[in-house]
Homo-oligomer: A and B are copies of this chain.
């Protein structure tokens, strides 16, 4: 569907989910869910996933992904993350793949999430904003810079082609 940013790359999703540490029974928010790829993956372990995006085409795409994967435990919210999150009373983990108003989103998440909050950032400004917000809230755990390159066959051999580097910023209540 050509959503801006495209789906989270497999390796980045694997690391992000590992940092989230979702357990059976968990309620998980996917903020800026885009194509729904992370929501569907999280729904394999979590009891309930809240997939939030303000773009109707993202929610439509994510619904389709969820249906195709047989994931019946995802609730979809088309709207601004700040508004949607206000109405959710408790979360065990939250993934932020993209969002406007990131500091406000992190403020809200810090008050509701029992476990880990993981932000993916490609922009330097977002990295800075995520770390500064988490440090202000006293929940910053770590940031990881992931540089993934994949093999590609070319005439007579194999080389590595890099994908865009991603920052994975991790926070958690009481972990700082």
- Give A residues with C-beta under 8 Å from B: 10-11, 13-15, 17-18, 122-128, 131, 142-151, 154, 156-165
Pull 26 A–B residue pairs with CB atoms less than 8 Å apart, ordered by A. Answer: A10-B18, A11-B144, A11-B146, A13-B18, A14-B15, A14-B17, A15-B15, A122-B160, A123-B154, A123-B156, A123-B158, A124-B124, A124-B128, A124-B151, A125-B128, A125-B156, A125-B157, A125-B158, A128-B128, A131-B151, A143-B150, A145-B148, A145-B160, A146-B148, A147-B148, A162-B165
CB distance from A24 to the nearest CB of B (A): 10
CB distance from A111 to the nearest CB of B (A): 24
Partner of A142, one of B13, B14, B150: B150
Rounded to whole angstroms, the CA-CA distance of A11 and B159 in the bound complex is 19
User: Which single residue of chain B is at the shortest CB-CB distance from A121?
Assistant: B159
Rounded to whole angstroms, the CA-CA distance of A160 and B123 in the bound complex is 7
Give chain B residues whose Cβ lies under 8 Å from the Cβ of A162: 147, 149, 162-165
B151 pairs with A144, CB closer than 8 A: yes
A124 pairs with B158, CB closer than 8 A: yes
Give chain B residues whose Cβ lies under 8 Å from the Cβ of A160: 122, 124, 143, 145, 164-165
Give chain B residues whose Cβ lies under 8 Å from the Cβ of A127: 124
CB distance from A97 to the nearest CB of B (A): 15
User: Which single residue of chain B is at the shortest CB-CB distance from A125?
Assistant: B157
CB distance from A83 to the nearest CB of B (A): 21
Give chain B residues whose Cβ lies under 8 Å from the Cβ of A148: 144-147
Give chain B residues whose Cβ lies under 8 Å from the Cβ of A157: 123-126
